[in-house]
């Protein structure tokens, strides 16, 4: 599974590929928002521009889904590495700096230290669904056989 390394918080969080970055952060208790966003945010609709993150490292290019049209418009005056967490789907492992607009003491050293520990690549697809148990498979087979038997009876009648 992909790992999101939150540099400011010093935490690694696993998620499924395709999960929304904002939702993963909120689920894990990672604070994405500065004061303005805490007082009021759009709930993930891409309108308030308060869920900025800076992608400071990736296990491989394309660790997040591509920029949406909303991001292209709202982030046009921001660095290319900034993303709106609510518009970003995690594909592979990456390093994220939350609240990049807020200061982080010794940021360069903290980012370098986070990059020094390699990230796992993470899969690019959801895990396969579990196989049915023997009991369930047998029931399905019985139901299929019963349906075929009924169809045959109807044809004979």
DSSP state, 75? T
Looking at residues 59 to 98 of the shown chain, list those that interact with ligand FES (rule: CB under 6 A). Answer: 84, 86
- Asked whether the beta carbons of 86 and 52 are under 8 A apart, the reply is no
Q: Is 47 in the site for ligand FES (CB under 6 A)?
A: yes
CB of 36 to ligand FES, least distance (A): 11
Task: Name which of 1 and 42 has its Cβ closer to ligand FES.
Answer: 42
Q: Is 25 in the site for ligand FES (CB under 6 A)?
A: no
Q: Are strands 52-58 and 82-84 parallel, antiparallel or unpaired?
A: antiparallel
- Asked whether the beta carbons of 8 and 81 are under 8 A apart, the reply is no
- Asked whether the beta carbons of 96 and 56 are under 8 A apart, the reply is yes
CA separation for the pair 19, 105 (Å, rounded): 30
| Closest-approach residue to ligand FES (CB) | 86
DSSP-based three-state secondary structure for 26: helix
Task: Name which of 10 and 66 has its Cβ closer to ligand FES.
Answer: 66
* Contact range with ligand FES by CB under 6 A, out of 13-21, 42-50, 59-67, 98-106: 42-50
Per CB under 6 A, the list member of 49, 53, 55, 111 interacting with ligand FES is 49
CB of 88 to ligand FES, least distance (A): 9
* Contact range with ligand FES by CB under 6 A, out of 4-12, 45-53, 121-129, 141-149: 45-53
CA separation for the pair 85, 53 (Å, rounded): 6
- Which of 86, 31, 32, 96 is CA-nearest to residue 63? 96
Point out which residues bind ligand FES (CB under 6 A): 41-42, 44-51, 84, 86
């Amino acid at each position: 599974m992909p790992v999101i390394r939150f540099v400011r918080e010093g935490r690694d969080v696993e998620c499924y590929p395709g999960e929304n970055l904002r939702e993963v952060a909120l689920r894990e208790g990672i604070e994405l928002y500065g004061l303005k966003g805490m007082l009021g945010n759009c709930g993930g609709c891409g309108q308030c521009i308060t869920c900025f993150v800076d992608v400071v490292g990736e296990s491989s290019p394309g660790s997040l889904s591509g920029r949406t049209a909303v991001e292209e418009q709202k982030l046009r005056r921001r660095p290319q590495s900034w993303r709106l967490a609510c518009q970003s789907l995690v594909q592979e492992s990456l390093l994220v700096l939350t609240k990049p607009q807020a200061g982080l003491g010794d940021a360069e050293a903290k980012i370098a230290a986070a990059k020094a520990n390699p990230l796992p690549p993470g899969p690019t697809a959801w895990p396969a669904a579990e196989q049915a148990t023997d009991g369930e498979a047998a029931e399905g087979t019985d139901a299929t056989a019963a349906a075929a038997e009924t169809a045959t009876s109807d044809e004979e009648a």
